[in-house]
Structure 1
């Protein structure tokens, strides 16, 4: 069964995801980031704009070819070609289709009231499906 974790209280979701990706890749994880197209573009640009020592190898999924060698794939839709990634980071407002193909789903939630309300709906969906959820309060951790 897929592990589900919610990271609550991110002051800036996209900056937080950048740090999360670097830490996870350093530990050997392979991740797919699911986000709306504008956020995919922003994340791609921000990951390219980092210093050479902080650069994170990544690809933007164009739906044409699998990115089997890339530890991070940014995409706007989940599909079977992403099966070699074990972690899905969800930045969308809905429960991702086919999330069960991943070992772990990380839901990143900002401090925005609307974002928190949408996250509560996703939380309820996972619980209704029988998933136990890990909660991480980023305010208590200093957003690290």
Structure 2
């Protein structure tokens, strides 16, 4: 089955939005892969997941660690090929189309407000559209469909 693709446009803080959406997915029993553009932002995601919401605990580890297959939320980055242990939801914060995206049930693309974020997002949208994947766009600020 082909993945569904959702784009969240104009995210003022893409990392915070990724943490919020990953927390909600985890709370509903889903397994999540978070893909950052680089190792530094992957570490930021890791730190943010520990502290972004006072009452929530989101168990997470970095991809490639021994506990990755047993942990609901796994963080990786585009600079290093990642073998994701789960294939339910992939949150992509990187500028490229994630390798192996076809294995996931859902891809969530989080796009910042700057033109530097929008240009690569347009290319990803066109890639998914050419593959005839179901696409849906949301405004990240208002949290409504576009």
Pair in the same fold by TM > 0.5: yes
Select which of 125, 132, 138 maps to 1:123. 125
CA displacement 1:25-75 (0-9 Å, x = unmatched): 1111100001121110001111223466222110011x3546122110001
Select which of 140, 143, 146 maps to 1:138. 140
Distance 2:88 2:75 in 1: 14
What's the TM-score, normalizing by structure 2? Answer: 0.87
In structure 1, runs of 5+ residues without a counterpart are none
Partner of 1:95, secondary structure, is coil
Partner of 2:141, secondary structure, is helix
In structure 2, runs of 5+ residues without a counterpart are none
What's the TM-score, normalizing by structure 1? Answer: 0.88
CA-CA distance at 1:17 after TM superposition: 0.9
Which residue in 2 is equivalent to 1:10?
A: 11
Partner of 1:43, secondary structure, is helix
Which residue in 1 is equivalent to 2:44?
A: 42
Q: Relative to structure 1, is the Cα distance of residues 83 and 46 closer, same or farther in structure 2, using a 3 angstrom cutoff?
A: closer
Distance 2:28 2:88 in 1: 13
- Let me know the Cα RMSD of the aligned residues: 1.7
Q: How many residues align?
A: 139
